[in-house]
Amino acid sequence: MSPSPTRILLPLALLAPKLSPPRPPFISRRRRDRAGAARCGCATEAAGGGGGGGSVVVEDDLYELLQVLPRDLRDNLQNEPRKDQLLEVVLDLGRRPEARFLGDSGGQYLRDSEISQQELEEAQRAVGEFGGDNRAGIEGTLHRISAIRSRKGMVVGLTCRVGRAVTGHVDMVRDLLNYKESILFLGRPGVGKTTVMREIARVLADEFQKRVVIVDTSNEIGGDGDIPHAAIGGARRMQVAEPSMQHRVMIEAVENHMPEVVIVDEIGTEAEAQACRSIAERGVMLIGTAHGEHLANIIKNPTLSDLIGGVETVTLGDEEARARRSQKSILERKAPPTFPFLIEMRERHYWVTHRTERSVDMLLHGKKPLVEVRKRDNNFQVVIERWATYDGDGL
């Protein structure tokens, strides 16, 4: 039987520095009248008192995204009771348009008739030019429009993803930011990694008074357009011309702009992993994300394993193998991890936190590491629980 959870933090070597008083949440630079405020989709997800962080405020600018859609779909979604939970709208040629909502495994058809080529072309004109990664945005917002193309290059599908500026999620990791060590977030698509990156950028720049540079490959963190969205606060944003150039822009950010913190979304190539190590070795704090649900996914991924120190095969002597009661060939961590902390975002409000070095070593030795579970209770307060067992698939 696993031991009962306790509300104590993992023992960490560093002491948290004193922080200056927090500044109020960001205020959008754009002026809004009363009608505009209603259109912006501002909402408070929950409220509560106490020091654990009892409120998550969401601004989604949903009105601007709906202008891309055909008029009948726009009207349907304006009257949809769950529009605050809208995740994305899918428009595929010759198929019925579909809306997907947070927490739902399936989708909801918005009408009985199929999407026409004319409707796709009109949506394209409303969005503008797509980049080399087939992504586009709406200037001044955080929304993302992704295209599916035919073999001839014609757009035959659009995924219209709602981008939300959220304040309050940083309470889940505020204590870890005090340690000034790099943090890697893992999670499946749609769990909210980019949203968390955005708020961490704002908090580090405005409350911690750090020099923060965001390497924004698809303009997802800072929004579309040359002026970044107010949601990133005082953080600076470097755009990337081509996704394949992300690793070069990461190094350029450090060499040219002297950041104390670099934030990068969707680390996915060996070159980007090596750029992360180079940045960390220069004493710069990194906040990054990668796709994968569990730490074991990164350990087994030869492209990204360098983020957690890399893995190599070591041959033991006979006496050492007997002392360890193991085979002569074993797996060992090759180097210190680039990211001392790793967080598995299982759900939006349920995170598993690793001290990367310790967890990797224990997993490679066939043991179950000590982890922290960070979640919100019924009053939306942050609760941190220490568990004794972890199996990489659940607790």
pLDDT digits (tens, 9 = 90+) for 338-375: 999 999 999 989 999 999 999 999 999 888 898 999 99
Tens-digit pLDDT profile for residues 327-341 = 767 788 999 999 999
**Is residue 63, in this structure, part of any structural domain at all?**
yes
* 116 and 73 part of one domain: yes
- pLDDT at 258 (0 to 100): 96
Are both 145 and 217 inside the same structural domain? no
Q: Are residues 338 and 369 in the same domain?
A: yes
The rounded distance, in Å, linking the Cα atoms of 371 and 334 is: 22
Single out the residue in 161, 191, 211 at which a domain terminates: 161
Q: What is the pLDDT of residue 28?
A: 36
Domain end marker among 161, 176, 209: 161
What is the CATH number for 77? Answer: 3.30.450.90
Q: Are residues 193 and 280 in the same domain?
A: yes
Residue 15 has pLDDT above 60, yes or no: no
Q: Which residues pair with 277 in a beta bridge?
A: none
31 within some domain = no
Residue 44, in any domain of the structure: no
In this structure, the answer to whether residues 137 and 94 fall within a common structural domain is yes
Q: What is the pTM of this model?
A: 0.79
DSSP string, 340-376: SEEEEEEETTEEEEEEHHHHHHHHHTT-PPPEEEEEE
| Residue 213: burial class (beta carbons within 10 Å; 0-12, 13-18, 19+) | buried
Verify that 120 and 190 share a domain, yes or no: no
- Whether 368 is in a domain gets the answer yes
Strand pairing report for 371-376 and 165-167: unpaired
Mark whether 186 and 302 lie in a shared domain: yes
Same domain, 101 and 68: yes
User: Among residues 116, 131, 161, which one ends one of the domains?
Assistant: 161
CATH of the domain at 183: 3.40.50.300
The pLDDT, as a whole number, for residue 317 is 75
Residue 28 maps to a domain: no
Domain count, the chain: 2
Is 35 part of any domain? no
Domain hosting 64: range is: 57-161
| Selected residue with higher pLDDT from 27 and 169 | 169
Q: Check: CB of residue 53 under 8 Å from CB of residue 374.
A: no
**What span, in angstroms and rounded, lies between the C-alpha atoms of 221 and 199?**
9
pLDDT for 52 beyond 80: no
Residue 16 lies in a domain: no
Which pLDDT score, from 0 to 100, does residue 315 have?
Answer: 77
Q: What tens digit of pLDDT does each residue of 103-117 get?
A: 788 899 999 999 999
**Given a cut of 60, is residue 14 above it in pLDDT?**
no
pLDDT tens digits, one per residue of 299-322: 999 999 999 999 988 877 777 767
* Average per-residue pLDDT for the chain: 84
Instruction: Work out the average pLDDT over 41-54.
Output: 44
Do 171 and 104 lie in one domain? The reply is: no
In this structure, are 356 and 297 located in the same domain? yes
Residue 12, pLDDT above cutoff 60:
no
The per-residue pLDDT for range 68-100, each reduced to its tens digit, is 999 999 999 999 999 999 999 999 999 999 999
Encoded amino acid at 155, one letter: V
Same domain membership, residue 176 and residue 112: no
Q: Is residue 30 part of a domain?
A: no
Same domain flag for 190 and 108: no
